[in-house]
Amino acid sequence: MPDTKQPQEKRPVGRPADVGGKRVQVYLDAKSLAIAAKLGNGNGNVSDGIRQALKQAAER
């Protein structure tokens, strides 16, 4: 019997293409890391958490 399953769409891997900018490395203490992970849309994305914190700081 032939395989009738449709191939699943592949999810993108790696950094989002639309971010733009430059790759940097940061060193965070455990508390800051936990806060950044929590800010990252609740999904544990530390990079997104850092972007959110910077955006909030810029809006002040």
Assess contact for 48 and 39: CB atoms under 8 A: yes
Enter the tokens of residue 50. Answer: 């850092």
Write down the domain spans for the chain: 25-60
Specify the pLDDT at position 23.
84
Specify the pLDDT at position 13.
64
Enter the tokens of residue 28. Answer: 């965070």
User: Using DSSP, how many helices (H) and how many strands (E) does the chain show?
Assistant: 2, 0
pLDDT digits (tens, 9 = 90+) for 14-60: 666 676 788 889 999 999 999 999 998 778 899 999 999 999 999 98
Nearest Cα neighbor of 19 from 55, 51, 57 is 51
Specify the pLDDT at position 44.
86
3-class secondary-structure state, position 35: helix
Assess contact for 52 and 39: CB atoms under 8 A: yes
Specify the pLDDT at position 37.
92
Specify the pLDDT at position 50.
93
What is the mean pLDDT of the segment spanning 4-13? 69
